[in-house]
Amino acid sequence: MTAGGADVTSGHLPVLYAQVLDGLHVRPDGRYLDGTFGRGGHAAGVLAQLGADGRLLLMDKDPEAIAVAEARFGDDPRVSIFRGSFIELTGWHEVAQAPLDGVLFDLGVSSPQLDVAERGFSFGKDGPLDMRMDPDADESAAEWIARADEAAIADVLWTYGEERMSRRIARAIVARRVEAPFLRTADLAAVIGANVPRGKSKPGQKETHPATRSFQAIRIHINRELADLETGLDAALAALRPGGRLAVISFHSLEDRIVKRFIAGHAKAPAGNRRLPEAAPFVPRLRIVADATKADDAELRANPRARSAVLRVAEKLDVEAAA
């Protein structure tokens, strides 16, 4: 582990490392939850700031991530590890024991998941068409593509990928699967690429692969990422103590929109309407600490995948004291 938080064993660079630790405002005796462990870059930073009485709770639904957590931190008495989605955090007995001082969600797919072809996330590396963050979950991408009708496929590509050619791609997928099922990522990427014209890239920028939006959309759908995020944010707020901090890193505009609206909805009074009856006084539950923090040029040079990362941090307020 380097001073900057990079996991030298996997090459994983935790995004916005210093900003996350600053946002969480780690107390030596605090209780913190990393709900998306990944490869532990942020978790290691939190643990380094905890004292003997501190507590770090680690969650991930990916068994490979849990194996890394066990190997790296399993012998530390301050650490507890749980395999599962962060939507289950309030049901974990470690969380139920006492309120948390901080919760971190680092959303989206991790670098190791993208880099391992067998996980089926990447159109650039041929592998089984899976895309499940939890390989024990119900349905793989291949299984969904085999059964979904054309309208459903087009809807997913448009809703989660904002893919303008969604209908054409869906039509091509359904026509091709009559001949042979889609089992490999390269096969699906080739069909998509044949039906999406390549756009012109800006000078100095790498050309975007035509399957980028479609693969992203299918991954979000298969893993229920947006629905789970809404549930997870509610669970995190309930688990935090007054003064505790919520830090969320998102990589997609749809994710960030959900996080932004959640925080704003609990931090700012809604606009009034003179035509409606007067509502009950608004009592804020959150205070915005950091709003849409992004990686600086130095981090982008070291880790290009940080380009789309957005960090939002909020602090839970003491509603009873305010009342």
pLDDT tens digits along 164-177: 999 999 999 999 99
Token output for 188: 């699906």
Q: Which of these ranges, 12-26, 233-247, 264-278, has the smallest mean pLDDT?
A: 264-278
Residue tagged 């012109």 (tokens): 200
Residue 274 scores a pLDDT above 70: no
Question: What is the pLDDT of the chain when averaged over all its residues?
Answer: 89
**Nearest Cα residue to 217 out of 263, 148, 264, 136:** 148
Distance in angstroms (rounded) separating the CA atoms of residues 78 and 59? 14
Q: Which of these ranges, 52-56, 71-75, 82-86, 300-304, has the smallest mean pLDDT?
A: 300-304
**CB-CB contact of 65 with 116 (8 Å):** no
Token output for 301: 């040079």
Distance of CA 23 to the CA centre of its chain: 17
**202, burial (CB in 10 Å: exposed 0-12, middle 13-18, buried 19+):** exposed
Which pLDDT score is estimated for 273?
59
Say which DSSP state 128 is in: B
**Nearest Cα residue to 33 out of 72, 3, 60, 52:** 60
Residue 104 to residues 25, 226, 246, 247, 257, Cα–Cα distance (Å): 12, 16, 6, 5, 17
| Residues 241, 256, 305: CA angle, nearest 5 degrees | 110
pTM of the model: 0.88
Report the C-alpha dihedral over residues 215, 251, 100, 42, rounded to 10 degrees: 100
Adjacency order of strands within the sheet including 286-293: 79-83, 55-60, 31-34, 100-106, 240-250, 310-316, 286-293
**Nearest Cα residue to 44 out of 82, 71, 83, 64:** 71
Which pLDDT score is estimated for 201?
54
Q: Kindly report, residue by residue over 5-60, the tens digit of the pLDDT.
A: 444 344 457 999 999 999 999 999 999 999 999 989 999 999 999 999 999 999 99
* Percent of the residues in the chain that have a pLDDT greater than 90, as a whole number: 77
**CB-CB contact of 142 with 130 (8 Å):** yes
